[in-house]
Amino acid sequence: MDYNNRFNNLKILDNLIKEAILDDLKSQDKKGIIEELVTPTARLLSINHKDIVRVILEREKLGSTGIGSGIGIPHGKLKGIDSLILGFGLSRKGVNFDSLDGQPAHIFFLLISPENSAGLHLKLLAQLSKILKVNSFREKLLTASNSDEIYDIIRNVDEDF
């Protein structure tokens, strides 16, 4: 797929790693959630776990990626990768993620982008934000019983956007 076509028709599932869908995050703080979200992605793609965590935490220092409504989208740009990488995590209990509305976050999308991909990075962040505004989508994610169900929920909403 050429760059321009991909940019115009960006879909969540084009970048989501199914094996990086975590349906029951255990961590109780922001750093722990980020480390937990990064673990399968780092392992599957043979990327240094510490490097990804460092990039994400540096981005968090600029302002929280807890956007409110129970959502966190930790993200950052990393040298040495050549495509967008997306992971997902669900915290059943919720965690303080320094969200804009002060509420605990339950739904997390982890976005890691190549260092030189500002356009695609912003486009996927915008797509995630648009989809996550749909209350019924968030509610379905919160009640999903496993990672396969989460994947199907994301696939269904992805087809509509």
Q: Which tens digit of pLDDT belongs to each residue from 36-74?
A: 999 999 998 889 999 999 999 999 999 999 999 999 999
| Catalytic-residue membership of 49 | no
Residue 4 has pLDDT above 60, yes or no: no
Q: Which of 49, 75, 106, 121 is catalytic?
A: 75
CATH number of the domain encompassing residue 136: 3.40.930.10
Residue predicted with more confidence, 48 or 5: 48
Write out pLDDT tens, residues 116-127. 888 889 999 999
Q: Residues 94-117: pLDDT tens digits?
A: 999 999 999 999 999 999 999 988
Residue 9 confidence class, pLDDT cut points 50, 70, 90: low
- The pTM of the full predicted model, rounded to 2 decimals, is 0.92
3-state secondary structure the chain: CCHHHHHHCCCHHHCEEEEEEECCCCCCCHHHHHHHHHHHHHHHHCCCHHHHHHHHHHHHHHCCCEEECCEECCEEEECCCCCCEEEEEEEEEEECCCCCCCCCEEEEEEEEEECCCHHHHHHHHHHHHHHHCCHHHHHHHHHCCCHHHHHHHHHHHHHHC
Q: Is the pLDDT of residue 91 over 50?
A: yes
Structural domain count of the chain: 1
Domain that holds residue 137: 3-160
